[in-house]
């Protein structure tokens, strides 16, 4: 036993000493302030340099890399000059994320000696390379500022031109050039030098050069897309003259404004095949954008001051053009009184919320509305495509004349038994309207479009019956009135005052 003790004692001491030496070496290894041997960052060997030196050089090399200049050149094309701009990589949106490097260094400097030593052991001979990244939004912003002229160039739509002789021509579209930012980003990434390679003097180094890839931006409307709509000629037309001035000069000027403003809202309205034209939204639009002015309107079968007088001249003129184009009427009603600008049976009234005017583009092609309103005449033209050998005429026939009734009112200022005519009555009419279809000038069809009634306006006679104030309710001549509870040919009646 003593012999074994004499043998094991020195051995234990040696093992312990070795362990202590190993622990000391392990501790020294884990507490080192230098990058592990053999580590490189891309093309930059960093093994053996201190952490502080590594931090400083990473910041220096990053700044030098992002500060390098890149000359971008836009090539000329189609008679337009090119251009160039010199920007730093940082301005172009190149970014370098140091966070992965900082995390690696933190694993070597933080935690227990064991963890630090183990991290150093794993890092030996490793490649800590990080790749530059591109921020597309920064690149786009830099390009828009550097090449403002390029970005200001806008594609121009093709335009359909209808000449005074009603022939149709086209002004061609014009595409615009734009920088192809995604492709430029790819080229930029491929042209980048290794960021970690030390540049002796980045500020004085010659700039990198790159041709800017371009792309063509086509407009939404092209000659081809316009031609595909099938609008090839005028298919219908009608004109009306403004009625003689009624009432004040202000009312006449107001009516002219209302007609012209409403007609302007219909200018260049495009209807797809089968689409229904609805007049009501255009009245609302005109009221919001241009406003309606004072002009006579029809209320309860009488012309009275109101707002918007004249809007039915537009709908009636359009109605007649639509009839002569052979299109389908969806909704239409005549005025309660005859109007002077179109024949009986060929008018189309409008009353907000009560009466509307609608028609369908019953052709197989698009249809375009054009309006022309000067100081004396309103004209509506429809352009589209219908058989050129087919035309339409409109004929209205008065089938009955309605005699005016007589209305008596009491006037105590008259001598008893005396009477006088206050308003002379006007007859009413029942009118039938037909659309006549012709082919090569020969009648091939006759279609009844409408049967309209225009109420007679009563004769008003003032009389002193001697029975006191008020109307003579015992009169054997009842008025037969049936007031219309809405405003025709306008948007507001006398209540606006």
Same domain (yes/no): 182, 285: no
Q: Are residues 5 and 35 in the same domain?
A: no
Q: Are strands 406-410 and 459-463 parallel, antiparallel or unpaired?
A: parallel
Q: What is the 3-state composition of the chain as percent helix, strand, coil, each rounded to the nearest 5?
A: 30, 30, 40
Q: How much is the pLDDT for 418?
A: 82
Full DSSP string of 466-483: SS-SS--TT-SS------
- Per the structure, the complete domain to which residue 12 belongs is given by 1-28
d(CA 354, CA 360): 20
Contact 190, 184 (CB under 8 A): no
Q: Which of these, 158, 123, 43, 138, lies nearest to 87 by C-alpha position?
A: 138
Q: Residue 466 burial (CB < 10 Å; 0-12/13-18/19+)?
A: exposed
Please indicate, yes or no, whether residues 316 and 447 belong to a single structural domain of this protein.
Answer: yes
The upper half-sphere exposure of residue 384, i.e. CA atoms within 13 Å in the direction of its Cβ, equals 29
Q: How many domains does the chain have?
A: 4
Residues 103 and 181 in one domain: no
| Residues 483, 461 share a domain | yes
Residues 164 and 239 in one domain: no
158 and 189 assigned to the same domain: yes
pLDDT tens for the chain, 497 residues: list them: 556 556 556 655 555 555 555 555 656 676 888 899 889 988 899 888 998 898 888 888 999 899 999 999 998 876 566 789 999 999 999 999 888 888 888 888 888 888 888 888 888 888 888 889 999 999 999 999 999 988 988 999 999 999 999 999 999 999 999 999 999 999 999 999 888 886 555 556 788 999 999 999 999 999 999 999 999 999 999 999 988 765 555 558 889 999 999 999 999 999 999 999 999 999 999 999 998 887 777 776 666 777 778 899 999 999 999 999 999 999 999 998 899 999 999 999 998 888 999 999 999 999 999 999 998 899 999 999 999 999 999 999 999 999 999 888 888 888 887 888 878 889 999 999 999 999 999 999 999 999 999 999 888 888 887 765 444 443 333 344 444 456 676 667 665 44
Do 319 and 421 belong to one domain? yes
Residues 451, 328 share a domain: yes
> Does 45 share its domain with 178?
no
- Same domain? For 287 and 328 the reply is yes
Question: How wide is the angle at C-alpha 96 spanned by C-alphas 95 and 102, nearest 5°?
Answer: 145
Over its C-alpha atoms, the chain yields an Rg (Å, rounded) of 45
Distance CA 415, CA 301 (A): 31
Tokens linked to 414: 């008259």
pLDDT at 497: 40
Mode of pairing for the β-strands spanning 377-384 and 302-307: unpaired
Query: Please, are residues 264 and 350 in contact by the beta-carbon 8 Å criterion?
Result: no
Considering the domain architecture, whether residues 449 and 483 belong to the same structural domain is answered as yes
């Amino acid at each position: 036993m003593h012999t074994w003790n004499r043998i094991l004692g020195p051995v234990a001491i040696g093992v312990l000493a070795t362990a202590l030496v190993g622990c000391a070496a392990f501790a020294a290894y884990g507490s080192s302030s230098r990058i592990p041997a053999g580590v490189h960052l891309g093309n930059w060997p960093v093994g053996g340099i201190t952490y502080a030196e590594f931090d400083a050089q990473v910041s220096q090399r990053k700044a030098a890399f992002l500060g390098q200049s890149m000359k971008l050149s836009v090539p000329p094309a189609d008679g337009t000059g090119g251009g160039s701009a010199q920007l730093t990589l940082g301005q172009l949106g190149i970014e370098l994320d140091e966070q992965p490097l900082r995390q690696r260094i933190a694993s070597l400097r933080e935690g227990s000696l064991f963890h630090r030593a183990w991290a150093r052991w794993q890092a030996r001979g490793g490649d800590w390379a990080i790749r530059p990244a591109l921020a597309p939004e920064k690149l786009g912003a830099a390009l828009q500022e550097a090449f403002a002229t390029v970005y200001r160039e806008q594609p121009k739509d093709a335009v359909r031109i209808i000449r005074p002789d009603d022939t149709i021509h086209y002004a061609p579209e014009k595409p615009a050039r734009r920088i192809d930012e995604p492709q430029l980003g790819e080229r930029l990434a491929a042209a980048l030098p290794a960021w970690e390679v030390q540049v002796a003097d980045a500020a004085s180094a010659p700039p990198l050069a790159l041709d800017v890839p371009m792309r063509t931006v086509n407009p939404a409307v092209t000659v081809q897309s316009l031609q595909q709509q099938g609008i090839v000629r005028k298919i219908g037309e009608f004109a009306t003259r403004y009625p003689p001035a009624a009432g004040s000069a202000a009312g006449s000027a107001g009516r002219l404004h209302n007609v012209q403003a409403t007609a302007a809202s219909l200018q260049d309205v495009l209807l797809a095949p089968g689409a229904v034209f609805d007049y009501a939204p255009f009245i609302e639009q005109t009221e919001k954008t241009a406003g309606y002015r004072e002009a006579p309107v029809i209320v309860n079968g009488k012309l009275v001051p109101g707002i918007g007088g004249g809007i039915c001249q537009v709908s009636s003129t359009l109605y007649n053009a639509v009839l002569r184009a052979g299109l389908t009427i969806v909704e239409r009603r005549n005025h309660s009184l005859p109007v002077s600008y179109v024949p009986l049976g060929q008018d189309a009234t409008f009353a907000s919320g009560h009466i509307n005017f609608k028609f369908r583009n019953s052709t197989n092609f698009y249809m375009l509305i054009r309006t022309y309103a000067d100081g004396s005449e309103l004209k509506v033209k429809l352009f589209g495509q219908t058989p050129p050998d087919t035309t339409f005429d409109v004929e209205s026939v008065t089938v009955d004349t309605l005699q005016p009734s007589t209305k008596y009112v009491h006037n105590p200022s008259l001598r008893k038994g005396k009477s006088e005519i206050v308003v002379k009555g006007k007859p009413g009419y029942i009118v039938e309207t037909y659309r006549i279809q012709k082919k090569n000038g020969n009648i091939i069809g006759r279609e009844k479009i409408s049967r309209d009634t225009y109420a007679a306006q009563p004769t008003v006679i003032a009389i002193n019956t001697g029975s006191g104030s008020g109307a003579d309710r015992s009169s054997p001549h009842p008025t037969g009135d049936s007031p219309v509870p809405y405003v025709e040919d306008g948007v507001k009646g006398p209540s606006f005052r």
